[in-house]
Structure 1
């Protein structure tokens, strides 16, 4: 459980336990230099200085930010905070941590937590979306708008009155750019205001084929990371025997001919991964030939290099016969044998190696030792330039005025 899910549940629990204590939300909107957390990291605190959920640093800022929540809640106005991690920690805690960055945060009163549950629902639909935070010229700001789906005028929901200061013609191409790159961006708009736009990137969807102890170990680690995990097998008894965390799905696929229909009902986008663990050649082959042509981000096969080669050779023949040859682009998503070379041989070690490899692939990282990385550890891209193809249709210069639908009851 991560991100908006954790924040929304913590806010709901706090409202029920201490309804008289106001809440505040801290959002990391910019980092200069190195930082443990990246822009978009959030933390929920209350007016009594409690840290309720989330994090905006490696632990060095949380206490000070929480201590400032009372003033923000009492005034009803957000505050922007800047921490020079190279020096400020000496003042805050009495010792220098010698971090190497500057963190810029927005700390705002949280009068209605339910938009965070809605943001998580948008993310879960995997159809695109974004959260917009406005930073005004007076040192304040607010999380003010939510985009549900691809950018269009009809899909924006107002979360705060400050959203009416924004112009849709300017906001739409920015949303296009941040959703295309998957990176949050800061952009200066009229009257010295700045918008922070964070894309709602879907959680990794992991489909494990084969109800083995290896699948069980992989599912446990992936679930801890907040991934959407499904284990599929044609043997119901083995599925039922697995000891899985709550939230991991079990799905029976009755016959090989049902593989395509099963995949059609599961996420199969670039943030989806399939791992083949059945140890049954015909089963792994059927799933390989079905998954390689799909726009998945990763397909992994457990087993020896020789067996993996046999599976690829068989899949290549089947796909060629269907008129969809196994191109270099399709091969690029295939990892066989599965996993990074970590050296462990237990099911847990193999699971860790597989999950680490998927994580590296999804972040387009080489998965080497950080001590040998020459570029910055936390790589960033500059605010994406709005390309001509991202330009929104010409719209009248009007502010954002879409209304937020009724929230479900608490």
Structure 2
């Protein structure tokens, strides 16, 4: 659900290379049972059966979906597809996949890809948002609404005429439910209209404090995952010497006094992680004291267990003196020493262990061996029920505002 940037780039490249070849977009809208990909996964294909970006399965469906693209591009009408992965896939590729689920997809023409770039921009701003796909009774549908921001104060962009089938009053509680759980919602509005609402969950933001050798490995791995990465240090020479991937931000912060101000200017929500890599005791204490009271999802400190205990004790004392004692919940998000027990000792291995731990914490997973997991590997929160408080949060009936150019239907 976070691949809009790759889809948009691939679509733009395809338009430049083959401007006369139409594009199509497949969206996984429902899974019954187990599936390699989850609702919200997307696949970009073209009318000549090329797979351009994304994925909706472990590799067994993409070719067949691409082969159907010419049909929807020629008709200008979306097509709903259902694949029963529990049976052999002899009819598709001549081999048996023996997966455990049923995948439901919408394959629709994509005359204009720009809404995907805007969706990625919405995610990056970390202020809420959602993408709405309407499924109709004719076996068709369309991705037709992009919400930029919160339900009550955001901008509703209409991308397709199918958006007229639903109102903001009907969408508001669904977006609230999707935002609350972080998972997509599939909900029947009426007998002939079902909507698929996908929250635009913000990417993980990783703040690496300390520009030593390990910071490069942290940044490289995190950037590969699509995270927003910032490396911070008070030493300009170290910052200038870093070799970082494109898109990684670098910021100079004063050693002690400027830490508090710097923290307030950075993202600090539940999908934000801080990795303290400075090896300088007073600097780590300053950052711990500034970050632990804020709603970060994860704070990790590089170093030994003994050093971690000393840092925690010092930060706890400083917070108590300020009248903001450290709570059990705030202490729980502190991971010191940083990382999972993977056994590696090189900077790259340590970075891998730390980022794997961050990934587990963000997803509320235990980070154990999958072979020992008793519940399904890809277990997801079921489609949430709409609570009474969500149903009450409706908007005045109003047409969807559209600041993007209205895209053609075919």
Q: Which TM-score tier does this pair reach, normalised by the shorter chain?
A: over 0.9
Distance of aligned partners of 1:357 and 1:393 in 2 relative to their CA distance in 1, 3 Å threshold: closer
> Displacement of 1:191 after TM fit?
3.4
User: Which digits, 9 at most, give the CA deviation of each residue in 1:209-258, with x for residues without a partner?
Assistant: 00111111111100000000011001111111111111111111123111
1:390 aligns with 2:390: yes
Segment of structure 1 superposing worse, 85-94 or 53-62: 85-94
The answer as to whether partners of 2:152 and 2:395 remain within 8 angstroms in 1 is no
> Displacement of 1:97 after TM fit?
1.5
What does 1:113-152 align with in structure 2 at a 5 Å threshold? 113-152=113-152
CA distance in 2, matches of 1:192, 1:115: 26
Structure 2 counterpart of 1:313: 313
Q: TM-score, normalized by length of structure 2?
A: 0.96
The answer as to whether partners of 1:164 and 1:399 remain within 8 angstroms in 2 is no
1:72 aligns with 2:100: no
CA distance in 1, matches of 2:23, 2:395: 37
Distance of aligned partners of 1:80 and 1:356 in 2 relative to their CA distance in 1, 3 Å threshold: same
Secondary structure in 2 matching 1:189: strand
Secondary structure in 2 matching 1:36: coil
Structure 1 counterpart of 2:63: 63
Structure 1 counterpart of 2:401: 402
CA distance in 2, matches of 1:208, 1:49: 42
> Displacement of 1:402 after TM fit?
2.0
1:83 aligns with 2:57: no
The answer as to whether partners of 1:172 and 1:392 remain within 8 angstroms in 2 is no
Structure 2 counterpart of 1:245: 245
Structure 1 counterpart of 2:334: 334
| Unaligned residue ranges in structure 2 (runs of 5+) | none
Structure 2 counterpart of 1:257: 257
Distance of aligned partners of 1:399 and 1:86 in 2 relative to their CA distance in 1, 3 Å threshold: farther
Distance of aligned partners of 1:261 and 1:347 in 2 relative to their CA distance in 1, 3 Å threshold: same
> Displacement of 1:294 after TM fit?
0.6
Segment of structure 1 superposing worse, 238-247 or 146-155: 146-155
Structure 2 counterpart of 1:381: 381
Secondary structure in 2 matching 1:223: helix
What does 1:92-241 align with in structure 2 at a 5 Å threshold? 92-152=92-152, 155-241=155-241
CA distance in 1, matches of 2:201, 2:159: 20
> Displacement of 1:2 after TM fit?
5.5
Structure 2 counterpart of 1:287: 287
CA distance in 1, matches of 2:395, 2:362: 36
RMSD: 1.5
CA distance in 2, matches of 1:109, 1:58: 23
User: Which digits, 9 at most, give the CA deviation of each residue in 1:93-121, with x for residues without a partner?
Assistant: 11102111111100000011111111111
The answer as to whether partners of 2:80 and 2:104 remain within 8 angstroms in 1 is yes
User: Which digits, 9 at most, give the CA deviation of each residue in 1:339-391, with x for residues without a partner?
Assistant: 00111111111111001000000000000111111111111112111112223
The answer as to whether partners of 2:147 and 2:154 remain within 8 angstroms in 1 is no
Segment of structure 1 superposing worse, 145-154 or 121-130: 145-154
| Unaligned residue ranges in structure 1 (runs of 5+) | none
The answer as to whether partners of 1:159 and 1:404 remain within 8 angstroms in 2 is no
Secondary structure in 1 matching 2:380: coil
Secondary structure in 1 matching 2:43: strand
CA distance in 2, matches of 1:167, 1:96: 43
Give the length in aligned residue pairs. 406
User: Which digits, 9 at most, give the CA deviation of each residue in 1:270-305, with x for residues without a partner?
Assistant: 110000000000111100000000100000000000
